[in-house]
Amino acid sequence: MRIFPLILAPVLSLSVAFGQVDSNSITVTASRGPSSGQPDQAVFGVVVTSGVDTSLDDVIALLQGTGISAANLQSLNEYPISNGSSGQATEALNWRFSLTAPLAKNKDTIAMLTNLQATIAKKNNGVTISFSIQGTQSSVQPQTCSQSDLLTDARTQAQKLADGAGVSVGNILALSGSTTAGTLYSSCLLTVKFALLRY
């Protein structure tokens, strides 16, 4: 059986796929990105600074009405703060929370957090609150990758590449894959090595 070598550029379709050909096989990598919807939520970072004697329950009570609960706590850090001209340092706690809110209600969420910030400042008890928008996300969770869909994409792409040399795609010789998942991004890759067959 004689196989003709191929020199082909990567071809882009619904998924991204790259191919590499040797004399008896073709290796294709197919990928699919996230299948979630458009961003419709803002992600706020909310930081409460308090004394070391403050408990999580105390902080959650201060944040009552915001929708922030203990489940939203991202990190807790202890750090020294200067005590003005005396030069003595005291310890403080930084409670970092994450809050998601609909983009359509962004103005309302900012107004609520600004009012809470002013209310806490008026108490003058050493507790402060700050916040910022850290990004956006979709309320639709990314769908998990389907290996069968990726395999179909890879076989289709491999056949397109093989057609140019007058050969066809045969059995799978090897395959490997990876998935990267996160709050803001997810993707899947599948690399498949197919045997090449003469028509």
Q: What is the pLDDT of residue 16?
A: 41
Residue 38: the pLDDT is: 78
Q: Which of 117, 137, 157 is the last residue of a domain?
A: 137
Domain boundary among 137, 163, 187: 137
Do 189 and 140 meet the contact criterion of CB atoms below 8 Å apart? Answer: no
Residues 91 and 110 in one domain: yes
Distance, in Å, from the CA atom of 47 to the CA atom of 20, rounded to the nearest integer, reads 50
Q: Identify whether residues 65 and 115 lie together within a single domain.
A: yes
Cα separation, 58 vs 40, in Å, equals: 31
Q: How many domains does the chain have?
A: 2
Q: Are 129 and 52 part of one and the same domain?
A: yes
**Based on the domain organization, do 177 and 121 belong to the same domain?**
no
pLDDT at 149: 85
Q: Does residue 3 sit within a domain?
A: no
> Which residues form the domain of 187?
11-36+142-198
Q: What is the 3-state secondary structure (H, E, C) of 58-125?
A: HHHHHCCCCCCCHHHEEEEEEEEEECHHHCCEEEEEEEEEEEEEEHHHHHHHHHHHHHHHHHHHHHCC
Residue 5 belongs to a domain: no
- Are residues 157 and 177 both part of a single domain? yes
- Residue 53's identity, in one-letter code, is D
Note the pLDDT of residue 8. Answer: 32
Residue/partner pairs of 89-92 with CB below 8 Å, 24 or more apart:
90/51, 91/51, 91/52, 92/49, 92/50, 92/51, 92/52
**Is residue 54 assigned to a domain?**
yes
Contact present, 96 and 72 (Cβ < 8 Å): no
Per-residue pLDDT of the chain (199 residues), as tens digits, is 333 333 333 332 334 444 555 568 889 988 876 555 678 999 999 999 999 999 999 999 999 999 999 999 999 998 877 666 666 778 899 999 999 999 999 999 999 999 999 999 998 888 999 999 999 888 876 566 778 888 899 999 999 888 877 888 999 998 887 765 544 444 688 899 999 887 6
Query: Is 107 found in the same domain as 46?
Result: yes
Q: Are residues 67 and 94 in the same domain?
A: yes
CATH code of residue 127: 3.30.70
**Residues 53-61: contacts with CB under 8 Å, at least 24 apart:** 54/93, 54/127, 56/95, 59/95
Residue 54 pLDDT? 92
Instruction: Choose the final residue of a domain: 119, 137, 155.
Output: 137
Q: Torsions phi, psi of 183, nearest 5? A: -65, -40
Whether residues 57 and 131 share a domain: the answer is: yes
User: Please, what is the end-to-end C-alpha distance for the chain in angstroms?
Assistant: 10
What pLDDT does residue 128 have?
A: 94
Same domain, residue pair 66 and 115: yes
Position 4 in a domain? no
Amino acid, single-letter form, for residue 162? A
Residues 79 and 149 in one domain: no
Give the pLDDT confidence score for residue 13 in this predicted structure.
32
Instruction: For residues 82 and 57, state if they share a domain.
Output: yes
Please state the pTM of the whole predicted model.
0.53
Query: Residues 146, 122: one domain?
Result: no
Q: Are strands 186-198 and 89-102 parallel, antiparallel or unpaired?
A: unpaired
